[in-house]
Amino acid sequence: MGVMSRAFDPQFGEAWNRRQVADALILGTCRYALIGADGAIVEDGEAPVAPAFGFFLARHVLDDEELLLFAVERDHRRRGLGGKLLDHFCRSSADNGVSRIFLEMRAGNPAARLYESRGFQLVGKRPAYYRGADGTNRDALTYQRLLRAS
């Protein structure tokens, strides 16, 4: 997934690599989707979007789903692609019987505004959990969104 390396901000020093993503997809509990510049979204197994400018990777366990990775390339941000992709993710999660979505990110990540605008609420914090590429420690923030009554 070339979009993965292009979409992540290098200052965060992302820990996921191509092999880890491939291994996660083999488990059968993970899914992904890609979004193109025109807003077309394809899920895993469908004809690929070319080129893809954003993606998500998620893991489903019972009635919970964890948004493991979510990113849009820097040059394609602030155009509605992230919102459209996140809305698609939440809708498809609900359609799959998910009652709760979790995600974790670094404190200071501007994507927090997007998540909060879509009903995600901060439910936890781990101090100095992530170490950035610049050596700075950042808190991990855990967000949750309830999709239906548990």
What is the end-to-end Cα distance of the chain in Å, rounded? 34
Residue 131 has pLDDT above 90, yes or no: no
Fold of the 2-146 domain: Aminopeptidase (3.40.630)
The angle subtended at Cα 53 by Cα 49 and Cα 55, nearest 5°, is 80
Contact 77, 54 (CB under 8 A): no
pLDDT in tens, 6-60: 545 555 555 666 666 667 767 778 898 888 888 888 888 676 667 877 889 999 9
What residue ranges do the domains of the chain occupy?
Answer: 2-146
Query: How many CB atoms are located within 10 Å of the residue 94 CB?
Result: 14
pTM assigned to the model: 0.82
pLDDT in tens, 63-82: 999 999 888 877 767 778 99
Q: Which residues contact 4 (CB under 8 A, 6 or more apart)?
A: 16, 18, 21, 55, 69, 71
